[in-house]
Amino acid sequence: MNKVSDIVGCITDIAPLKWQESWDNAGLLVGDANMLIDKALITLDVTEEVIDEAIQGGYHLVVSHHPIIYRPLKHLLPENTIERTIMKAIRHDIAIACMHTNLDNSYLGVSKWLADKLGLINQEILEPIKVEENVITGGGMVGCLEKEMDEKSFLAMVKHNLGCDALRHSDFLGKKIKKVAVCGGSGFFLLDNVKRCEADAYITGDVKYHDFFEADGKLLLVDAGHYETEQFTKELIADAIIKKFCNFAVSISRVKTNSINYYV
């Protein structure tokens, strides 16, 4: 048996909470840090269905990427899905920890895993920030494909490797893709960094209609989806725990929490 705080510490070892953005709410959000547990359930989002899965499986810790408590709560009433989920977790003695932008800003975090899934080599942080001596954090990642690809073949590879139902992208430029930047989740804010490093393509999520114009003939801008570009965070979190506590049981939730569906 291990304390909840021990398991949470496995993740904060590679992504300290001080690395989270000022507006974020990462860390242990529900439950007792000293509670003894023998297994944890890992998910991207905490939903009622995930808590039901935890109850059925006897899990007393759920670790997610996205914080279930993001905006201030004025009460706990069964009026919306967030409050119902928290109430159900409390009733069943289930702690909830969330690791969000601290993992986004870690070199070993979200964008690193995304870059690995796309087979990028010679990886560097897209927006490096020196937080202390010999420690660099920051958003996104940039690297190179082992072999350059034409644009359609590149998109086919991205769709396959990320398991996307569809991709949205800017105009084809008729050039080969070699240098690729990525950012899991909502990463359009890093586009200027992408242009400065002269990447041929940028993979992220949540790109708005007018944002695609900002590709401006300089690169292929691809929206692969918020969930799709962050889904491997579940593996990241599980891996961090298993490496520290090899006898601790870790399971990845079977609930698909992607809130977006496609009709094709």
Hey, what CATH class is 2-100+232-252 in?
alpha beta
Mean per-residue pLDDT over the chain, rounded: 96
Model pLDDT for residues 177-209, shown as the tens digit of each residue? 999 999 999 999 999 999 999 999 999 999 999
pLDDT of the residue at 263: 86
- The answer as to CATH 3.90.1010.10 being correct for domain 105-229 is no
Please check whether the two domains, 2-100+232-252 and 105-229, share a CATH topology. Answer: yes
CA dist 151 and 3 (Å) reads 49
Q: Please provide residue 119's backbone torsions phi and psi, each rounded to the nearest 5 degrees.
A: 75, 30
Model pLDDT for residues 66-113, shown as the tens digit of each residue? 999 998 898 999 989 999 999 999 999 999 999 999 999 999 999 999
Domain boundaries, the chain: 2-100+232-252, 105-229
Predicted confidence band at 154 (pLDDT cuts at 50, 70, 90)?
very high
Token couple for 51 = 């808590």
Residue 133 has pLDDT above 80, yes or no: no
Token couple for 212 = 């695609």
Q: Hey, is 154 helix, strand or coil?
A: helix
**Beta carbons of 166 and 184 less than 8 angstroms apart:** no
pLDDT of the residue at 264: 81
Residue 60 has pLDDT above 90, yes or no: yes
- Which DSSP category does 72 fall into? P
